[in-house]
Amino acid sequence: MPTFILKDSARENKIFYSRVVIAWLLMLLGLLIIVARLIFLQVTEYEHFDTLSEKNRIKILPLPPARGLIYDRNGVLLADNRVSYSLEIIPERVEELDFTLAELGKIITIEEDDIERFKKQLHKFHSSKGVPLRHRLTEEEMARLSVQKHHFPEMNITGNLSRHYPLGATGVHAIGYVGRINEQELKTIDKSEYLGSNYIGKVGIEKYYEKELHGTTGFQHAETNVRGRIVRILERSPPVPGKNLYLNIDITLQKYAESLIAKERAAVVAIEPSSGGVLALVSTPSYDPNLFVNGIDFKTYNGLRDSPDRPLINRAIRGQYPPGSTVKAFVGLAGLEYGVRSSHSRTWCRGWFSLKGQKHRYRDWKKTGHGSVNFSQSLEQSCDVYFYSLAHDLGVDRLHKFMNRFSFGKRTGIDITGEVSGLMPSREWKRRVLGKLWYPGETIIVGIGQGFMLATPLQLAVATATLSNRGQFKQPRVVFAMDDAKFNEMNVVPPSIKETVTLKADYYWNVAIAGMKAVVHGRRGTARKVAIGSKYRFAGKTGTAQVIKIKQSESYNARRLAKKFHDHALFIAFAPLKNPRIAIAVIVENGGGGSKTAAPIAKKILDYYLLQGSVSETK
């Protein structure tokens, strides 16, 4: 190698110098390209990337509010929040899912349903977030799991506030329950408000007062790393807890009423006439709302759903029954109001009624008839013929209009969702809905609460309360007051007067009430047996509603009929006569006669409420 000899020719030098300059310029150009790129990223697009960086950095985490508690009118806790422990599986840590599930199944009970629900939810979560496998772990299960915890890195036990109903099935049809938010509900709610919430009111008070009970979700802005771990909290707006609700319901009365009809398919609604406050709202059979809170298993649910006794139906507000003779006081008032009858007008009852020129006999419940009866007497004895003839004279449209004012055929506006309106027929209704003409014969049976007419137990109780109030209609209210944990004060929900039923003469009320009083206290009262030895005076009306049509030639014989074709037993009442404190409607499905089955139940409830002093008047 010619190492020490300078062999560079001038040409080689020249080429090399030019190449070095070009290479140097190329490097400069390259670095300038980088500078240009950096200017683009850091200056031109700065806002864009800064936003992205903040989005990476800051996660907004919801702080779910504690759901408001529910108390009865005496402060007995009806719904609270308890810490319940759930077993979660973190998918990204699972090696072999079926193996994990099988192994966990050896430690605690994991039902097929749990696994099915788990697998459904599995893909809805990010794989680093725990998916619940079992809810409501018992203490024993917790202990067993914690011993085995190191074998299951994919396992996580979390404590959540879970809704709990300490009294179980008591009052469930009024209180309702909460459950996990389903997809339909997701479409209607403000999602940002429910980011951290597991539950939403499904029925009853829990649903109607969802907004108040739920509270307001708080948020915290947290700096999180790439795995979602919180590094520090930047900003925090605390949640506002839901309001606590105080119900008008007296839970001891409710419980007592439930115990009386526990074995029946029945409903009781008791209302305080002065306020419209619902003292008891019973529908049996009942069910345990706690089953629904964290998702009911299919077997239990199907059992409840398919039971012939329909425990899930709230009979008090959704059961529609022919009200039978319980409507007679109201029909009678219509007669006075429209001047079709006077309080002294008498009707001759010979055991049946028929329209002129027609053979069909509308039979009285008493074959021999009641003889000559006025309004009060026909109430006392529950004479059908008086009301057949009265209804015929009134016509269905006037009847419809008058009964509507007592809330028959329309919703009472109670603060529980799902109330149905019953049916108070009219000619217009039949034409619109059935597309048929109204026959005069159909008016006649509406006079005794049969035929097309349907009413809910709630409507009967509200109408009775209105009557006992001499026309003052108070909207039924389950919630008495709500308090604000934040301001530590209680806001009473004021009773609302929806409409006052005013009659042409105020004494009409006296006539109707006198008739109803005679039902229990009168010599010939249909329910006189229940008032024997009563420590107070009250007013009532029996009702027996036919479930099937009895042919003209036949007579009703309970023993020959299957239970489900037995008559419904009804009774409405209020007490005391002056300044009534309670109005009540009782219905026992297929219970037979109102006087025999429903009236004694009602009387016991009245006794319990009025005599045992279980209720403190003021809170």
Partner 1 sequence: MQISWHNNSFLHLDYPLLFGLLLLFAIGLLTLYSAGGQNLDLIFRQILRFLVGFGILLLLAQIRTQKIVSFVPWVYMFGILLLLLVLIMGESTNGSQRWINLGLFRFQPSEIMKLAVPLMVAWYLTSKPLPPTSWRLLVALTIIFIPVFLVIKQPDLGTSLLIAASGMFVLLLAGLSWRTIFGFISLTVLSTPILWHYVLHEYQRERIRILLNPERDPAGAGYHIIQSKIAIGSGGFSGKGWLNGTQSHLQFLPERSTDFIFAVYSEELGLLGVLVLLAIYFFVLSRGMYIALKAQDSFARLLAGSLTLTVFVYIFVNMGMVSGLLPVVGLPLPLISYGGTSLVTLMAGFGLIMAIHTHRRLLSD
φ and ψ at 325, to 5 degrees?
-65, -10
Q: What residues form DSSP beta bridges with 103?
A: none
* Binding flags for partner 1, 54-93, as an x/- string (CB under 8 A): x-xx------------------------------------
Residues 399-438 binding partner 1 (CB under 8 A) are none
User: Is residue 223 involved in binding partner 1 (CB under 8 A)?
Assistant: yes
Taking the complex as a whole, the smallest distance from the CB of residue 10 to partner 1 amounts, in Å, to: 12
Is 614 among the residues known to form the active site?
no
Measure Cα distances from 114 to 138, 344, 346, 537 in Å.
15, 70, 69, 57
User: Is residue 226 involved in binding partner 1 (CB under 8 A)?
Assistant: yes
Taking the complex as a whole, the smallest distance from the CB of residue 55 to partner 1 amounts, in Å, to: 9
Of 5-13, 239-247, 387-395, 497-505, the window that binds partner 1 (rule: CB under 8 A) is 5-13
User: By C-beta, is 53 or 616 nearer to partner 1?
Assistant: 53
| Residue 576, preceding peptide bond in cis (omega within 30° of 0) | yes
User: By C-beta, is 15 or 611 nearer to partner 1?
Assistant: 15
Taking the complex as a whole, the smallest distance from the CB of residue 239 to partner 1 amounts, in Å, to: 26
Q: Quick check: 88 and 133 in contact, CB under 8 A?
A: yes
User: By C-beta, is 43 or 83 nearer to partner 1?
Assistant: 43
User: Is residue 230 involved in binding partner 1 (CB under 8 A)?
Assistant: no
Question: Hey, what are 94's tokens?
Answer: 């699972």
What distance in Å separates the CA atoms of residue 453 and residue 258, rounded to the nearest whole number? Answer: 27
If phi over 0 gives left and psi between -120 and 50 gives alpha, with beta otherwise, what is residue 174? alpha
User: By C-beta, is 38 or 262 nearer to partner 1?
Assistant: 38
User: By C-beta, is 12 or 428 nearer to partner 1?
Assistant: 12
User: Is residue 234 involved in binding partner 1 (CB under 8 A)?
Assistant: no
φ and ψ at 488, to 5 degrees?
55, 45
DSSP string, 254-314: HHHHHHHSTTSSEEEEEEETTTTEEEEEEEES---THHHHT---HHHHHHHHH-TT-TTS-
Strand, coil or helix: 144: helix
Measure Cα distances from 383 to 90, 194, 390, 501 in Å.
72, 58, 11, 25
Q: How many residues bind partner 1 (CB under 8 A)?
A: 44
In 382-535, which ranges are continuous DSSP H helix?
384-394, 396-404, 427-429, 440-446, 457-468, 507-521
Q: Quick check: 389 and 369 in contact, CB under 8 A?
A: no
SS3 content of the chain, % helix, strand, coil (to 5): 40, 20, 40
User: By C-beta, is 221 or 255 nearer to partner 1?
Assistant: 221
Taking the complex as a whole, the smallest distance from the CB of residue 67 to partner 1 amounts, in Å, to: 34
Residues 10-49 binding partner 1 (CB under 8 A) are 12, 15-17, 19-20, 23-24, 27-28, 30-31, 33-35, 37-39, 41-43, 45-46, 48-49
User: Is residue 550 involved in binding partner 1 (CB under 8 A)?
Assistant: no
User: Is residue 4 involved in binding partner 1 (CB under 8 A)?
Assistant: yes
Binder among 102, 186, 231, 492 for partner 1 (CB under 8 A): 231
What distance in Å separates the CA atoms of residue 546 and residue 565, rounded to the nearest whole number? Answer: 8
Identify the CA nearest to 387 among candidates 375, 405, 400, 372. Answer: 375
Q: Quick check: 353 and 388 in contact, CB under 8 A?
A: yes
Q: Quick check: 457 and 319 in contact, CB under 8 A?
A: yes
Taking the complex as a whole, the smallest distance from the CB of residue 234 to partner 1 amounts, in Å, to: 12
Of 2-10, 139-147, 163-171, 364-372, the window that binds partner 1 (rule: CB under 8 A) is 2-10
User: By C-beta, is 5 or 83 nearer to partner 1?
Assistant: 5
* Active-site pick, 197, 275, 283, 325: 325
User: Is residue 548 involved in binding partner 1 (CB under 8 A)?
Assistant: no
Catalytic machinery residues: 325
Residues in touch with partner 1 (CB under 8 A)? 1, 3-4, 6-9, 12, 15-17, 19-20, 23-24, 27-28, 30-31, 33-35, 37-39, 41-43, 45-46, 48-50, 52-54, 56-57, 223-227, 231
